[in-house]
Every structure is written in structure tokens, then in C-alpha cells.
Chains A and B, each alone.
Chain A
Amino acid sequence: MTRVVVDREVCMSAGVCEVEAPEVFELDTAGRLQVGQPTDLTAVETAVRACPTGALSLVED
């Protein structure tokens, strides 16, 4: 199964992923990134690539 890993040290809560794949990524009210289970993999891959800080990666379990 594919899942998204967030490097919390690197994430700046820029919210670019949330624009690309709002069903999967959401910055909560504290500005912390919450990640759901990827459904539309294409959108998630776009979001991972678009992250300005390179905080996101996809891993296969």
C-alpha cells in the first residue's frame, strides 16, 4: 500500500499540497499537516513533487 510520509522538521506548512490534493492533505487549525490515505494517486504524486520544501515522500509498505 502507498502512503505519504511527512518530514516534520522540513515542512513549513506552506499548503501547496493542500491545493493539489485537498482530499488527502489538510493543515489543521494549528497549522500542522494532517495526511489521509491517498485515493487519487496522481494528485498525491503532484502534491509530493510540488512541495516547496521537499517535505513529502511516498513509501510502499
Chain B
Amino acid sequence: MSSPTLDLDTVDLSDRSFWGAPPEQRHAVYDQLRRERPFAFFAEPVIPYIEPGPGYHAVTRYADVEAISCRPALFSSGAGAVSIADMPPDLNEFYGSLISMDDPRHGKIRRIVAKAFTPRVLEKLVGNVQAVADDVVTRARRTAEDGDGTIDVVADLAAPIPLRVICDMMGIPDGDRALVLRQSNVILSGGDPELVEDEEQMVTAFLKAGEELAGLMARLAAERHAHPADDLTTALVTTEVDGERLTHQEIASFFILLLVAGNETTRNAISQGVLALSEHPGERARWAADPGLTRTAVEEIVRWTSPISWMRRTATQDVELSGQSFPAGSKFLLFYGAANRDPAVFADPHRFDLSRDPNPHVGFGSRGPHFCLGAHLARREIGVAFRAFADQLPDLEVIGPPARLESSFVNGLKRLPARLTGVR
């Protein structure tokens, strides 16, 4: 993509509409930032009732993302990793989970659930993921048959698979799953006007969504205390760290993190993977014919889509990066989608190549203690989902442009219209 030169002074990564535009535009900006302004500085987005901070540096080179990520003592997550502004205390109640914590506390809390996300444990879960994917695909075909032959890839395929898998792992009753989907959509909406109608009420909407999920957690926690089960919620409410149970706030925010992260990221990898395959029919045909391609194909989908656009780090002292100095307190957003197209690491980075190997992408985060807890789960879900689509939905055809989420944080689709040509 050697696109014409843009005027970088007119680019504002804090402008929500930038993120609703087609990804080609975003990648042209990333490419130029990487070349010309690898630590470009931006003012913080304006959010009603939140005190804007001093601004942030957008990190777009792979090497710099890695250099920051792997030195957590110098580049802290504790001041907030998932928001540009420092989190106000009332939001911290629900969203101040281990993702925004530093070690040693982060490690101690993470290890409570890490045992449920190991490759061997998840291997046993594959049968369940397969059953979920088969059922979702069957229902999607029925939806098309009962209607006009069309489906929404997001609502009918991409959303239900990870939702059902993470809710199964956490022991969320069927009746509460619609609420989980609704609230996690709000939490990761980035304030998209379709999901948060009144921008003035954005903080209130985030608080309310957190309260709803925390309420679900409180109800389940009481049940699990009385009747422990073999699920993650039981692990959260019964495990002790340094001889102490987690606080209510720690449990609530961890519960919300697992639900939201387990849902939104994989959903957007799947929906945008479907889109990428429809735009690259040769690759789609190659994968359909060769299941052996799945391992590298899954990695390429994660690299290509980079479902989480950034995480934030904050300098704990004066630091130097690639010869530039930054004062203590500087904020850095690590733009994973930019690092994942860095030509210094990826040959022909804008080529969608399902057999790309090696593929050291940072779609699950770069090196460091915050590397995605759910990486092995996401890989399995994506692999199983796309094999199911290839085998059972060979007639799936995308028929219109996607509706993109206007969020800088989540690279997501709200809708992707498609039809099953075999239906009629």
C-alpha cells in the first residue's frame, strides 16, 4: 500500500469517525505514522464528565511496541490500560481489573484463572466448541431459510460462538446470556452513537452496564459459595490470594473482564475474517480445500484483523525509546494493528496470506506479563468456526459493506450482511 502522502497534521486518532472509516484508510495513516512520526502525539478525546489528561503518543512501530510491552516496570498498566483518560474511581469499581494492574498483584490474580486457559485444558473443550459452532451454523441456515436467504454474519455467526463458549466456561445460565451480550456491547462500544445514544450520558451508560454485570456476578457468586461448580466463577469466588479472598470489587471487575474480553475480541476476529476471506476468494478456496492450513490461517486472521486496536502504558519514570526521551507520566498507546503491518517484520505486510509462517504478530499483545490470557481459547474458537463455515456454509456470500464500530479501542463490526446462495 504505497498510497499517496497524507497530511498527517489533519489526522486525529482521537476522532471517533476515523475508526468508522474503511480499514484501508487507517492502514495508510498507520504506514505514514510509522515512517514519519513513530511516536506521534495526540490530544485526548473529549468525554463528558471525564477530565482529559495530557495527551498520548501513538506507537506504530513493531519494535517500539515490543520494547514498551516487555518492560512493565518502566511502562505501567496500573494507571489504566484500556482507557486513554485515567479511570475515575467509580468506573474503576467495574473496570479496574487485572488488565490495569501491575505485578505482583496482577500475576497473583491472573494465576487464579490461568489454569483454565492452558492448551491441554482447552484441548478438552474443543468438542464443546465444535458442538457450539455446528449448532450456530445450523441455526444461521435456518434463519436464512425462514427469511429471505440473508443473514447477518455478526449476529448470526460471529457473536454467538464466543458468547456461548465463555458463558459455558463461566457457568452463566442461558437466561442471562442476552444480558451479557447487550452489556458487553455497551462496555466496548467506545461510545459509538448506535450503542450509546446520548454522548453526554456515556459515563453513565458505562457505569450502568458495569452495574448490570456486577449484579449478575453477585447473584452467581452467592450460588457458587453455596454450591461450588467446576467453572471460572467458582474459581473467582473461592480462591485465596496471599491467604485472602478477592474483594468484591476485584471479583466483579475480573468477572466483567472475562465476559467482555471473551466475547468481543473473538467475535470481531471471526466477522472480519469472514470479510477478509470474501475479499480474497483465492485464499478462501485454498483453506476450504486444505484443513492443514488452519494453524497458520488462524494466526493470519488475528494479524490481519487485530481486534484490539491498542492497549495503553504509562511511563513510571523518564524514559528513552529509539533515541527519543519522554518524561515520567507520558502515555503510550500501542497500536497493534500498525505493528502487525510493519514491513520491518512482515514481508509484504498488506498481503493476506493464510500460510504466512513465521507470523510473530502482536494481535494478542506483545511480549510481557499482559499477553492475552485467552489466546489459546481464541485460536481454537477461530479455527473451529472457520472449518465449520468452510464445510457447512460453502455458499456463504457477503452482499454488502459492513457497519463498522466507531471505536478506537475495538476494531469491530456491528453488522455484515450476507446470504446463503444455496437457500434460494
Contact = CB atoms under 8 A, between A and B. Distances in A.
A12 B110 contact: yes
B369 A26 contact: no
B118 interface: yes
Contacts of A39: none
Contacts of A27: 114-115, 118-121
Contacts of B376: 15, 19
B120 A18 contact: yes
B369 A12 contact: yes
Given A31-B111, A31-B114, A54-B70, A15 B119 contact: yes
Interface string A11-38: 0111110110010001111110000000
Nearest to B110: A12
Contact of A15 (B104, B107, B118): B118
The interface size bin for chain B is 20 to 34
B119 A31 contact: no
Nearest to A25: B119
Contact of B117 (A15, A28, A54): A15
B371 interface: yes
Contacts of A53: 367-369, 371
B367 A14 contact: no
A11 to B, nearest CB: 8
A30 B114 CA distance: 9
Interface string B38-71: 0000000000000000000000000000000010
B65 to A, nearest CB: 13
Contact of B368 (A22, A31, A52): A52
A13 B119 CA distance: 10
B375 interface: yes
Interface residues of A, number: 19
B367 A52 contact: yes
A29 to B, nearest CB: 6
Interface string B98-119: 0000011001001100110111
Contacts of A22: 119-120
Nearest to B117: A15
Given A27-B120, A54-B70, A14 B114 contact: yes
A31 B239 CA distance: 13
Interface string B324-344: 000000000000000000000
B110 to A, nearest CB: 6
A30 B110 CA distance: 12
A14 to B, nearest CB: 5
Interface in B333-383: 365-369, 371, 373, 375-376
A31 B111 CA distance: 7
Contacts of B115: 13, 27-31
A12 B120 contact: no
Contact of B120 (A9, A26, A52, A54): A26
18 contacts: A9-B103, A12-B111, A12-B114, A12-B369, A13-B110, A14-B371, A15-B118, A18-B120, A22-B119, A26-B120, A27-B119, A27-B121, A28-B115, A31-B111, A31-B114, A52-B366, A53-B367, A54-B367
Given A12-B114, A12-B369, A15-B376, 12 more contacts: A12-B107, A12-B110, A13-B115, A14-B373, A15-B119, A16-B371, A16-B375, A19-B376, A27-B114, A27-B115, A54-B70, A54-B367
Interface of A: 9-10, 12-16, 18-19, 22, 26-31, 52-54
